[in-house]
Every structure is written in structure tokens, then in C-alpha cells.
């Protein structure tokens, strides 16, 4: 019996010995990596980054011992590593078995640059094994910022020296005015807002717009809505002006509180894109918008209720589903009333001149009529998507030289990637009416609408660019 047991144990030991990996120690044996460089997007200095990952592969026929894994750091940058679930800054004696791999997760906190412009940071992950020292570069761009935490401001003017990083909201006090000059960039943390109790003046230019953006800047999140709160215009505000502003990826774009007095909002050459709810929620406001692009909101792009609303040469398009859920509201809501503090406030007028209003909904304009015999709205020389069930699109009352959108015909270059310039055969070309308005003479690309015979609908004018012919050899 003992003889059989000894034989069995010997065979089992032999099998286990055969299955055990051979430790490879020759320097010619190499590891492989998922990337030769780990790229971080732009990072605010002295602020934690997003997490990146690196995979290390052993595709050899035996095990390899990584003697040391660490980051070779320049300047005073700080890195945080996690290797196979273990956190640290340096790792020793890691056995990587044959045909196996390990994850390395990387975060960084870059040191301040000491300059106003972005600075390139190049560090490296070092993997030492078998007298080899492999390097995987870690590349990032650091940007110094002005941090504002729960900040309230009086009358001030901000310039574009460094971006402003907003934590826990920014408040413009009642009776005060914040002026943002060309090139200013405001970045907001999740759920942070710009709360306007006074007034906001945005003086961007085509070359240097004023940006309102989330602090998550990696490319894959460039169209994600809901990454910060909104520009909240409170009932104590009176006059707000936006020229060459870009407002992206928030919960709401402009969200105006209930007010019994009329709040003035002027929008010129402004973009509001990728909102989790509404683009412009403007009860009892006087809104005057020219040459603007409003696009891709999960609910209404424009909600006009009470007050007076005028949109000239604006592109209003809901062509992608920004939240991944079905959209149950059209792009535009027109209501003939609004109720503030139990008081009914009637809508004076809502007009669209030389505009585009399109999307993937069956009709992209909704009407809420309770008190007026006739709807207080009109569209002229515009390209619209509508389904006239209740007479709201009666050409004798509400439409003047308007055109029904044809989903089978060309319109934009590619609205699904926010390129709302007109395509070569766009149905919006030469459909607009001539207007004598210096603000609307130039489109969002700075091209004059007076060059050709007739302007186009929307915020972009189409210009044919002949192909560049290469000289023959």
C-alpha cells in the first residue's frame, strides 16, 4: 500500500513540476505594452487627473520577474499608480507568468507651470527586468488656472490670462455686472453653476470666443451633456448680453427663473450645444438672438413662454440623442402665456426669421395655447420641420415664405458631430430673405451674406470652394 502511495505522490509532483513556468532571465526576452505612450488630455495643474491605463503583456513561454516598476518624474509632478489592485509609487519583484498580463492604472497631479500658457510635461513609466529598462512615456499638457471656490463677485472685468476653474458655483451679486472679455474660459465642476443675480456681459470675438465648459476635457467626453450645471439667470437680473460665447455640455444652457418683470437677453454669434435638458429656458424674457447655433438638447432647445422672442439667422437642430434616451419633446416650445407668482403673463410675440429648425422628432415646434385666439408666433423665410395637426402652421397667419424640411435631401455637412455648416447641395441654400442688419451680415465663419445673390437660412452661409488643382508633372 505504501509503495502505491509513494508512486502516486511522485507522479503528482512530476506533473506539478512540469506545469510550473520556467523563469526567463535572458535579456533578449521582452515584454510587450498596450501603448508606447500614455496620453493625458489637458490637465489643470495642482488638480487630480482622470485615470489612464497601461497593459503589460508577457507573450513568452516562461515567467518574467519585473524587478522594479516606477515613474521617472520631471519637475515636481506627482503620480499615483495601481498595479493589479495594489496602490503605490514603486513596485518590486512582480512575477508575470507566461501568456499573462497586468494592468497599470495611472493618475497624476501636475505641478504648477508658473506661466499662463499650457506647458508640455513628459515623464516615463520605467519597467526594469532581466537587465532591461523599458520606458513607456507619459505625456500631458498642464494648464495653470485661477481657482474660485464658492465665489461671489461684484462689478468686475475678467481677462483671458488664465482659465477660471469654478468650484461650488460662481455668483454675480444683485445690482452688479461681470464682464468677460475675449478669450476668457470658465470651467465648471460637476453641478457647479454660474448664478446671475446681477448682469452678465460676454464680449467674445470670432477669433477668441468666451467659453463656458465642464472641467472634464478628455476627447471621448466632448459631447457628453450634464457635466456641469447651467447659467442661471435669477429674477433680480435685468440685462444680459452674449457675443461670441460657447456654452457646452451642461444640464441647461441658459435657465431663467420665474420673474414678474421682463429680463433682457441678447445673443449674438453664440453656440449652445449638448444640454441634458434645455438650451434656452426663457420665461417672460425679451430674447433677441442673431446668428446663433443652438443644437442637441435632450428636451427643448428653446422654450419661449411669456415676453418677446426674436431669432434671426439661427440654426436650431436636434440631430443626435445626447443622453441615449428617446426624446419626447420637440426642439422649440412656443406658449402664449407664463405664470409667475400666480400671475398670468402673456406672450407678446415669438418670431423666427431666416432660421433652420429641424431634428429627428415628427414635428420640431410645439405650441401651448390657452388664452390667445391666435398664436403669437410667426416664421419667415425659414426651413422648418412641422406636422400641422392644429392649424398652427397656417401659411396665411403664421408662415411667410417658409419651407418644409425634407429628410431625404441634404442639409448639413454632419450635424451628428456638431458640424452644422451647409452641405454642397443643402436645401437651405438661397432660401433666406434679405435683411438690413449689420449684426446678421456675417455668418458664424465671418463670411458676408451679401456676396452672392441671396442669403441662406441658418447661422452659416454656404460658399463654394473650388478644388485646388495640382500641377501636372
Instruction: Tell whether 471 is covered by a domain.
Output: no
User: Quick one: 363 and 403 in the same domain?
Assistant: yes
Phi-psi region of 470 (alpha: psi -120 to 50; beta: other; left: phi over 0): beta
Domain count, the chain: 2
Q: What is the model's pLDDT at position 50?
A: 87
- Alpha-carbon dihedral sign for residues 341, 346, 351, 352: positive
User: Quick one: 120 and 154 in the same domain?
Assistant: no
Q: What is the model's pLDDT at position 451?
A: 82
User: What whole-number distance in Å separates Cα of residue 172 and Cα of residue 148?
Assistant: 13
Domain-terminating residue out of 127, 142, 157: 142
Instruction: Tell whether 264 is covered by a domain.
Output: yes
User: Quick one: 39 and 170 in the same domain?
Assistant: no
User: Quick one: 62 and 131 in the same domain?
Assistant: yes
Q: What is the model's pLDDT at position 358?
A: 96
Instruction: Say if residues 381 and 353 touch (Cβ distance below 8 Å).
Output: yes
User: Quick one: 383 and 435 in the same domain?
Assistant: yes
What are the distances in angstroms from CA 215 to CA 152, 231, 238, 250? 20, 15, 29, 11
Residue 199 has phi, psi (to 5 degrees) of: -135, 155
Instruction: Tell whether 24 is covered by a domain.
Output: no
User: Quick one: 206 and 300 in the same domain?
Assistant: yes
Strand partners of residue 448: 442
The whole model's pTM is what? 0.86
Q: Report whether pLDDT(162) > 70.
A: yes
Strand partners of residue 343: 340
Instruction: Tell whether 22 is covered by a domain.
Output: no
Instruction: Tell whether 344 is covered by a domain.
Output: yes
User: Quick one: 199 and 262 in the same domain?
Assistant: yes
User: Quick one: 96 and 37 in the same domain?
Assistant: yes
Q: Report whether pLDDT(48) > 50.
A: yes
User: What whole-number distance in Å separates Cα of residue 150 and Cα of residue 254?
Assistant: 20
- What is the percent of the chain where pLDDT is above 90? 67
User: Quick one: 101 and 197 in the same domain?
Assistant: no
User: What whole-number distance in Å separates Cα of residue 293 and Cα of residue 283?
Assistant: 20
Instruction: Tell whether 18 is covered by a domain.
Output: no
User: Quick one: 156 and 104 in the same domain?
Assistant: no
User: What whole-number distance in Å separates Cα of residue 235 and Cα of residue 65?
Assistant: 66
Q: Report whether pLDDT(389) > 70.
A: no
Q: What is the pLDDT of residues 210-231, one digit of tens each?
A: 999 998 766 666 678 999 999 9
Q: What is the model's pLDDT at position 286?
A: 96
Q: Report whether pLDDT(308) > 60.
A: yes
Owning domain of residue 329: 146-440
Q: What is the pLDDT of residues 340-376, one digit of tens each?
A: 777 888 899 999 999 999 998 889 999 988 776 788 8
Residue 157 has phi, psi (to 5 degrees) of: -125, 125
Number of neighbours of residue 105 by Cβ within 10 angstroms: 15
Domain-terminating residue out of 107, 142, 177: 142
Instruction: Say if residues 100 and 58 touch (Cβ distance below 8 Å).
Output: yes
Instruction: Say if residues 427 and 352 touch (Cβ distance below 8 Å).
Output: no
CATH number for 63: 2.60.40.1510
Instruction: Tell whether 1 is covered by a domain.
Output: no
Instruction: Tell whether 467 is covered by a domain.
Output: no
Burial class (CB in 10 A: 0-12, 13-18, 19+), 341: exposed
Cell of 281: 429656458
User: What whole-number distance in Å separates Cα of residue 223 and Cα of residue 232?
Assistant: 21
User: Quick one: 275 and 309 in the same domain?
Assistant: yes
Q: What is the model's pLDDT at position 2?
A: 44
Cell of 390: 392644429
- Alpha-carbon dihedral sign for residues 247, 248, 254, 255: negative
User: Quick one: 299 and 383 in the same domain?
Assistant: yes
Amino acid at each position: 500500500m505504501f509503495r502505491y502511495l509513494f508512486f502516486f505522490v511522485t507522479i503528482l509532483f512530476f506533473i506539478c513540476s512540469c506545469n510550473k513556468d520556467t523563469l526567463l532571465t535572458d535579456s533578449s526576452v521582452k515584454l510587450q505594452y498596450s501603448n508606447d505612450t500614455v496620453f493625458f488630455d489637458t490637465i489643470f495643474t495642482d488638480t487630480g487627473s482622470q485615470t489612464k491605463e497601461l497593459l503589460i503583456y508577457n507573450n513568452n513561454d516562461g515567467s518574467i520577474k519585473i524587478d522594479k516598476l516606477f515613474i521617472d518624474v520631471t519637475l515636481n509632478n506627482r503620480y499615483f499608480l495601481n498595479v493589479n489592485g495594489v496602490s503605490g509609487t514603486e513596485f518590486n519583484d512582480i512575477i508575470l507568468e507566461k501568456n499573462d498580463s497586468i494592468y497599470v492604472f495611472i493618475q497624476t497631479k501636475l505641478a504648477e507651470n508658473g506661466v499662463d500658457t499650457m506647458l508640455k510635461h513628459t515623464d516615463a513609466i520605467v519597467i526594469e527586468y532581466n537587465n532591461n529598462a523599458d520606458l513607456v512615456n507619459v505625456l500631458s499638457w498642464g494648464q495653470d488656472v485661477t481657482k474660485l471656490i464658492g465665489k461671489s463677485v461684484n462689478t468686475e472685468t475678467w481677462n483671458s490670462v488664465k482659465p477660471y476653474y469654478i468650484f461650488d458655483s460662481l455668483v454675480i451679486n444683485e445690482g452688479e455686472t461681470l464682464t468677460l472679455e475675449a478669450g476668457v474660459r470658465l470651467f465648471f465642476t460637476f453641478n457647479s453653476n454660474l448664478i446671475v443675480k446681477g448682469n452678465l456681459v460676454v464680449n467674445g470675438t470670432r477669433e477668441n470666443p468666451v467659453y463656458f465648459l465642464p472641467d472634464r476635457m478628455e476627447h471621448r467626453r466632448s459631447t457628453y451633456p450634464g457635466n456641469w450645471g447651467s447659467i442661471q439667470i435669477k429674477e433680480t437680473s435685468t440685462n444680459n448680453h452674449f457675443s461670441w460665447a460657447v456654452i457646452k455640455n451642461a444640464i441647461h444652457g441658459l435657465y431663467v427663473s420665474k420673474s414678474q418683470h421682463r429680463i433682457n437677453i441678447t445673443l449674438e454669434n453664440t453656440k449652445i450645444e449638448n444640454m441634458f435638458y434645455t438650451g434656452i429656458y426663457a420665461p417672460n424674457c425679451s430674447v433677441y438672438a442673431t446668428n446663433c447655433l443652438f443644437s442637441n438638447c435632450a428636451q427643448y432647445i428653446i422654450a419661449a413662454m411669456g415676453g418677446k422672442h426674436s431669432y434671426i439667422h439661427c440654426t436650431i437642430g436636434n440631430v443626435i440623442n445626447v443622453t441615449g434616451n428617446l426624446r419626447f419633446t420637440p426642439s422649440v416650445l412656443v406658449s402664449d402665456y407664463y405664470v409667475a407668482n400666480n400671475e398670468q403673463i402673456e406672450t407678446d410675440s415669438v418670431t423666427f426669421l431666416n432660421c433652420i429648425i429641424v431634428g429627428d422628432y415628427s414635428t420640431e415646434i410645439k405650441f401651448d395655447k390657452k388664452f390667445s385666439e391666435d398664436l403669437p408666433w410667426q416664421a419667415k423665410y425659414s426651413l422648418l420641420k412641422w406636422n400641422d395637426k392644429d392649424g398652427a402652421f397656417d401659411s396665411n397667419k403664421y408662415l411667410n415664405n417658409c419651407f418644409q424640411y425634407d429628410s431625404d435631401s441634404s442639409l448639413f455637412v454632419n450635424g451628428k458631430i456638431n458640424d452644422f455648416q451647409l452641405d454642397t447641395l443643402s436645401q437651405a441654400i438661397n432660401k433666406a430673405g434679405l435683411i438690413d442688419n449689420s449684426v446678421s451680415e456675417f455668418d458664424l465663419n465671418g463670411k458676408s451674406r451679401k456676396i452672392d445673390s441671396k442669403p441662406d437660412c441658418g447661422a452659416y452661409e454656404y460658399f463654394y470652394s473650388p478644388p485646388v488643382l495640382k500641377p501636372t508633372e
